[in-house]
Structure formats: structure tokens, C-alpha cells
């Protein structure tokens, strides 16, 4: 049965089953931290609730990067309260870090914890409750260390994630993230290497290095380390896995890093680069530190060095002051560049950021129209990229069965193409050489040439 013990009494009685659910919203860093909390809870005697089962505790790991994300976070919190009348609900992460007062107004919420206290959530769950929402949201200290959250297993996943960096100090005019994630912090190099070895020993064939501002890895380590340095150290270990980099800012991708990705087989041929706008005036208003010309030059340089490498781009539409000419500058720049896919985001007005006070806001209808145009462009770019890969072989990590009768397996190529192949026995989680045969209705289909077990 589900526990009904109260925190007022100091936690759950020993004879009660302690079950939990974790609802995760937002970025890969949030997903990583939720996986860490799940492991910690299980180590301390908690059991994941079965599908459809009420839980003793539901933890909502929130996101506030856009207004829609904030709304979704509130919806998930209220849903958890409705579905677990006898259980406890905790809201953790970015929402509580920046806007705890909004969460305090949600009736039935038992615990609030921001990112400073996120790692302590398993302990906070057992604390006596005074009858009102317990609020553990505290400001970031001026200087703080990296909170090590070690995970060696990702149940149900063939690819592993490793958070090696946290925090952002860029303060782009539209972005709430520096307030929700705090100053730069980096996982010490020795810890990075140890976890990488552990993940290789567990049989993972790909590790995705993640961070809030990954390119600033080492910024807090006194000049002793940076992202390229830790990549070189990983490469020297000769581990039987490949490494994928998550998002990097344009100014953090130099000739040396491009050459590393082009020449090292263990580095995935994949860059994800935020553009946000292709108009120089809008970029300045966003407090971005590059121009459309430098961004275009970077993408072309990557494409020349790695012709079949994936280049993904974040682009924001409808930023205050973006007129039709500025929108066309963005559209035309992306149309001219060899990008592989687009992530399109309509601008979201975030209280507490400078752009929220800009007078020349773009109408919702106009933002929707421009976003649709950019997404259509992204679909064309993705299809062209996939067609350019026809008849070529790629190393694919097999992730899961495709939903259609489990007759196809789905995997991710090193250049970030989701590929479907006919089902083969016992290759889940393996690295397989796959030849791409056709692109059909947005799906890429191939066949296994041989596998590297």
C-alpha cells in the first residue's frame, strides 16, 4: 500500500512503504539531476511507484526557461497534488530558486527547494513539517563549489549523460538562467575521468557531456583546465565509447576544437550552436557577443572540416524590436548556411530580465507566424542533410525498439541522425555500423553492416 505517514511526525514510519515519482521538465541537466535523485532515493530505501500507482512522494523538477515552461511546471505540481491526495508533493529546481513566492501560493504543496538545495532533497523529505509549505529556497552564494552528482547507471538508456558544468554568467537580456543556476562551477577533472571509466565499465557506448554553459568548463578552476583539456584527457584514456558535446556558444568553438571533432573517431561529429537571431541589431539587444557574419563563418568552417557533421542551431523569433526585415535576416542567413536542423523558440517574456521591460514587444500572432516559417525551413534543412547521408555508413548506438510492432530498432548515429533498422537479436545498447538506405516521410531507414560489440 502507499504510505500515509506525515512529515509532522518526523517522516514515514518504518513499516510503511516509501514510494516516489519524479516528474522532470526542461533541459538535459535537469534530466541528469533527476536520475541522480532517483538513485539516491533508492539507496535510502525508497521504491519507484508503479505506473498508475499513487506515491508517497511526487517530486516535480521544474523549468522556467520560458513562460510556457513555468506554466507547465505549475500544471504538473497541481496534477501531482490532485492525484496523490494522501501523498506529499515537492517542487524543486529552477522555479523555487527564482520565484518561490509563486509556489507558496499553491495549496497542497509540501516542499520547495531551489537548485542550491536540490542535492539534499532526499534528506529534506524526511524532515518534520510544521503545517505549512516548507521552503528551502536560498540564494546562491557568491562562490560555491560543484555539487558532485555521480551516476553510473541510466536504466532503460543506451546512452549515458554526465553533467560536468553548472551555472551561467552571460546574462543575455532575455534569459532567466543565470538567476536560476548561479555562478560557474565545474566537476574536477579527476572526477570526470573516473565517472567516464565507470560508465565505460557499465557498457555504455556513448556519453553526452552536459552543462548549463558547457563551454565554460574549467572557468572556476583557476585556469588549470578547460573543455578542450578535459577532452584531451578523456581521449588519452582510450575508453571504448564515444563522446558527444551538448550545446556550445559560437565563441567557444575554435579551430582546435573543430580539428579534434574532425579527426578523433571517439568524438561525435555534432555541434549544437545557439544563434538566437541572424540580425546584428537584435543580437546587440539580446546582449549576444557575435555577429551574423562571424556565426556564418563558423558554420561554414565546421562544414568544410566535417562535411557530414551535424550542425544544430537554436533560433529565437519575435524578440522585442524584431521587425520583418530582422526576421528575414535570420531566415536568409539560416537558409544560406549548411545547418542540419533547427530548434525554434518564440520569444518568451520573463519577469526579472531586461528584455521583459522593452516597449516594442512583438504580437503573439506575429511570433507564431515567424516561428512556423523557421520550422518549415528547419524541416527542409533536416531532410536535405539526411538525403546527403544516403548510401553512407555511420556508427549508430542502438537505443530502443521502434513502436511499430517492435520490428524496427531505433538508434542515434554519431552525427545525430535517428535511424531505424530491421530488428536484430541482442544488439540493444551496442554500437552498430549502419548504412543509410532511404529517407521516407521524415524517417531515416538503414541496415546493419556489422556491429562493434
At 119-175, the pLDDT tens digits run 999 999 888 766 788 999 999 998 889 999 988 888 777 899 999 999 999 999 999
Report all structural domains of the chain as residue ranges with CATH numbers, in order of start.
Answer: 7-136 (3.40.50.2300), 159-388 (3.80.30.20), 393-452 (2.40.50.140)
**Class of residue 124 by CB neighbours under 10 A (exposed 0-12, middle 13-18, buried 19+):** middle
Residues written for the chain: 453
Query: What pLDDT shows up at residue 224?
Result: 83
Query: Cell triple for residue 322?
Result: 524584431
pTM score, whole prediction: 0.90
Residues 333-382: pLDDT tens digits?
A: 999 999 999 999 999 999 899 999 999 999 999 999 999 999 999 999 99
Query: What pLDDT shows up at residue 308?
Result: 97
- Strand-pair partners of 431: 397, 452
| pLDDT band per the 50, 70, 90 thresholds, residue 316 | very high
Inter-axis angle of helices 255-263 and 292-305, nearest 10: 30
Q: Give yes or no for residue 427 having a pLDDT over 70.
A: no
3-state helix, strand, coil in the chain (%, to 5): 35, 25, 40
Q: Give yes or no for residue 176 having a pLDDT over 60.
A: yes
Task: Return the ∠ at Cα 316 (arms to 314 and 317), rounded to 5°.
Answer: 145
Query: What pLDDT shows up at residue 404?
Result: 54
Amino acid at each position: 500500500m502507499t504510505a500515509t505517514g506525515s512529515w509532522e511526525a518526523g517522516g514515514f514510519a518504518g513499516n510503511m512503504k516509501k514510494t516516489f515519482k519524479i516528474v522532470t521538465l526542461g533541459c538535459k541537466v535537469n534530466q541528469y539531476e533527476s536520475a541522480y535523485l532517483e538513485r539516491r532515493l533508492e539507496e535510502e530505501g525508497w521504491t519507484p511507484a508503479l505506473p498508475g500507482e499513487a506515491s508517497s512522494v511526487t517530486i516535480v523538477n521544474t523549468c522556467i526557461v520560458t513562460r510556457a515552461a513555468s506554466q507547465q511546471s505549475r500544471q504538473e505540481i497541481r496534477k501531482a497534488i490532485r492525484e496523490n491526495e494522501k501523498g506529499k508533493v515537492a517542487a524543486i529546481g529552477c522555479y523555487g530558486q527564482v520565484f518561490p513566492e509563486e509556489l507558496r501560493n499553491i495549496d497542497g504543496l509540501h516542499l520547495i527547494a531551489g537548485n542550491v538545495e536540490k542535492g539534499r532533497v532526499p534528506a529534506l523529505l524526511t524532515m518534520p513539517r510544521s503545517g505549512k509549505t516548507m521552503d528551502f529556497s536560498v540564494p546562491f552564494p557568491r562562490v560555491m563549489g560543484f555539487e558532485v552528482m555521480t551516476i553510473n547507471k541510466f536504466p532503460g538508456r543506451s546512452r549515458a549523460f554526465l553533467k560536468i558544468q553548472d551555472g551561467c554568467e552571460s546574462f543575455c537580456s532575455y534569459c532567466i538562467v543565470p538567476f536560476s543556476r548561479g555562478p560557474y562551477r565545474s566537476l574536477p577533472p579527476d572526477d570526470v575521468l573516473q565517472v567516464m571509466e565507470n560508465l565505460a565499465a557499465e557498457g555504455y557506448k556513448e556519453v553526452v557531456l552536459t552543462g548549463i554553459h558547457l563551454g565554460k568548463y574549467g572557468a572556476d578552476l583557476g585556469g588549470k583546465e578547460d573543455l578542450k583539456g578535459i577532452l584531451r584527457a578523456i581521449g588519452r584514456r582510450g575508453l571504448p565509447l564515444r563522446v558527444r558535446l551538448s550545446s556550445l556558444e559560437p565563441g567557444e568553438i575554435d579551430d582546435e576544437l573543430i580539428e579534434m571533432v574532425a579527426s578523433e573517431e571517439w568524438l561525435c561529429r555534432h555541434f549544437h550552436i545557439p544563434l538566437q537571431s541572424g540580425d546584428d541589431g537584435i543580437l546587440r539587444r539580446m546582449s549576444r557577443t557575435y555577429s551574423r557574419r562571424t556565426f556564418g563563418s563558423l558554420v561554414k568552417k565546421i562544414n568544410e572540416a566535417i562535411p557530414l557533421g551535424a550542425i544544430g542551431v537554436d533560433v529565437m523569433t519575435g524578440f522585442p524590436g524584431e521587425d520583418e526585415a530582422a526576421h528575414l535576416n535570420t531566415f536568409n542567413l539560416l537558409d544560406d548556411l549548411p545547418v542540419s536542423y533547427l530548434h525554434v523558440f518564440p520569444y518568451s517574456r520573463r519577469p526579472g530580465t531586461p528584455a521583459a521591460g522593452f516597449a516594442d514587444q512583438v504580437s503573439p500572432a506575429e511570433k507564431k507566424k515567424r516561428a512556423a516559417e523557421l520550422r518549415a525551413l528547419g524541416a527542409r534543412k533536416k531532410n536535405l542533410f539526411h538525403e546527403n547521408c544516403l548510401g553512407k555508413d555511420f556508427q549508430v548506438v542502438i537505443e530502443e525498439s521502434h513502436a511499430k510492432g517492435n520490428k524496427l530498432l531505433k538508434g542515434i548515429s554519431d552525427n545525430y541522425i535517428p535511424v531505424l533498422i530491421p530488428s536484430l537479436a541482442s544488439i540493444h545498447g551496442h554500437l552498430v555500423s549502419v548504412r543509410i538506405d532511404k529517407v521516407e516521410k521524415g524517417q531515416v531507414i538503414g541496415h546493419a553492416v556489422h556491429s562493434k560489440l
